[in-house]
């Protein structure tokens, strides 16, 4: 009820201004001890993958809190894990405004933010002040390249970020699938991805020795992939012993929003129109990976039933973004409740969870 009232106010504002106000409001409620107003209690539903224990399988996707400024406010909603970023080595403003557009008729969003963030050092400063990681909360940090770094030098940016965030992160996500940084998705191609993963895994090994901990590396891929591309990516994930994969980022497709206001805006489309496309990629990826690399499913989750579809397709965890914008904090508990029977039944069968 509280969020439905708040959403009317937020949706009357410019989308990006509302985004900032919404995050600030969650942080205020958490600091004031009023988090109960934002959402109900989320049940325990532990999941263990990548050597990490998640108190429940529903996380926050990267992009909502790019600089890690509202970690504790978001944690109070009940997420089982939180992913911040995408962060780049140097601060950058992102693309010109307006760059964030709602399509409420389809519970969708188009964004062309362009990795706007204050840089990796500022993010780490924010993380150092957050209580959530100190209490053992699972914090993912999503890293990318600066817009003006030539694509042939992209690995340098990822390696800089990985070196800096390795100790603070529970896991690190390599974002090569945003449609809003020029040529970034070319890093998903066979030779480029092979070279990038080789360098990142070598760095992970060095950093594990230095810090005395193994921080999992996860790759985030696009939904706009053909079956052959998904198979090739799966082969590389297995070859390089990647710890996980997130499927998927936003789509360049406009199927489902044709003719609607903002439907033709440049950028990545998320929300309900992405659901089936994302689930199809998860299913194909699961078939190709044969359980060797765990999948985190994201894209178009606006209900508990949508979350369950991702697990039935082969995901082990799910993440929310656009659904959280439209449905608010209650969606977290709804999704956990929908996933509990499936996870408990699989645990009872001795399957890896």
Instruction: Categorise residue 271: left if φ over 0, alpha if ψ from -120 to 50, beta otherwise.
Output: left
Q: Which of 27, 35, 170, 178 is catalytic?
A: 178
Known binding-site residue numbers:
62-66, 86, 111-115, 142, 175, 180, 220, 248-250, 271, 300, 321-322
**Which three-class secondary structure string do you get for 35-98?**
HHHCCCCCCCCCEEECCEEECCCEEECCCCCCCCCCHHHHHCCCCCEEEEEEECCCCECCCCCC
Give the separation between CA 22 and CA 3, rounded to whole angstroms. 10
The tally of CA atoms less than 13 A away on the side-chain side of residue 216 is 22
Instruction: Give the 3-state secondary structure of residue 300.
Output: coil
Strand partners of residue 110: 101, 269
Write out the binding residues for substrate.
Answer: 66, 111-115, 175, 180, 249-250
Strand order in the sheet with 268-271: 100-103, 108-111, 268-271
The helix/strand count (H/E) of the chain reads as: 12, 13
Report d(CA 343, CA 353) in Å as an integer.
7
35 catalytic residue (yes or no)? no
Q: State both tokens at 96.
A: 């010109």
The three-state secondary structure class of 140 is strand
**Residue ranges for the binding site for FMN?**
62-66, 86, 142, 175, 220, 248, 271, 300, 321-322
Cα gap 284→239, rounded to integer Å: 18
Q: Is the distance from CB of 159 to CB of 200 less than 8 angstroms?
A: yes
Nearby residues of 349 by Cβ (< 8 Å), 6 or more positions away: none
Q: Just list the catalytic residues.
A: 178
């Amino acid at each position: 009820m509280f969020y439905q009232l708040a959403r009317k106010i937020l949706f009357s504002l410019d989308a990006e201004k509302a985004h900032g106000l919404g995050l600030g409001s969650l942080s205020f409620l958490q600091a004031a001890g009023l988090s109960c107003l934002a959402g109900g209690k989320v049940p325990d539903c532990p999941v263990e993958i990548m050597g990490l224990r998640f108190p429940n399988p529903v996380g926050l996707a990267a992009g909502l809190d790019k600089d890690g400024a509202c970690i504790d406010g978001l944690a109070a909603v009940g997420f089982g894990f939180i992913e911040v970023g995408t962060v780049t080595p140097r601060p950058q403003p992102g693309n010109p405004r307006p760059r964030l557009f709602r399509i409420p008729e389809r519970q969708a969003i188009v964004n062309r933010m362009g990795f706007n963030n204050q840089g990796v050092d500022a993010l780490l400063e924010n993380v150092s002040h957050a209580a959530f990681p100190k209490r053992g909360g699972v914090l993912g940090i999503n890293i990318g390249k600066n817009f003006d770094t030539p694509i042939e030098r992209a690995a340098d940016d990822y390696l800089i970020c990985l070196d800096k965030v390795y100790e603070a992160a529970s896991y690190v996500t390599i974002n090569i699938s945003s449609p809003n940084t020029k040529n970034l998705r070319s890093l998903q191609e066979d030779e480029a991805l092979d070279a990038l993963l080789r360098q990142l895994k070598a760095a992970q090994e060095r950093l594990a020795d230095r810090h005395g901990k193994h921080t999992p590396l996860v790759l985030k891929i696009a939904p706009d992939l053909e079956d052959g591309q998904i198979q090739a990516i799966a082969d590389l994930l297995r070859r390089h012993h990647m710890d996980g994969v997130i499927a998927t980022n936003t789509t360049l497709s406009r199927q489902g929003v044709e003719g609607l206001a903002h439907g033709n805006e440049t950028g990545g489309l998320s929300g309900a129109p992405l659901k089936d496309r994302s689930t199809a990629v998860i299913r194909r990826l699961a078939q190709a990976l044969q359980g060797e690399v765990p999948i985190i499913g994201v894209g178009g989750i606006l209900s508990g039933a949508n979350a369950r579809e991702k697990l039935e397709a082969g995901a082990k965890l799910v993440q929310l973004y656009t659904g959280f914008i439209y449905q608010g904090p209650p969606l977290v508990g709804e999704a956990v409740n929908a996933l509990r029977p499936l996870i408990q039944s699989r645990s009872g069968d001795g399957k890896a969870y």
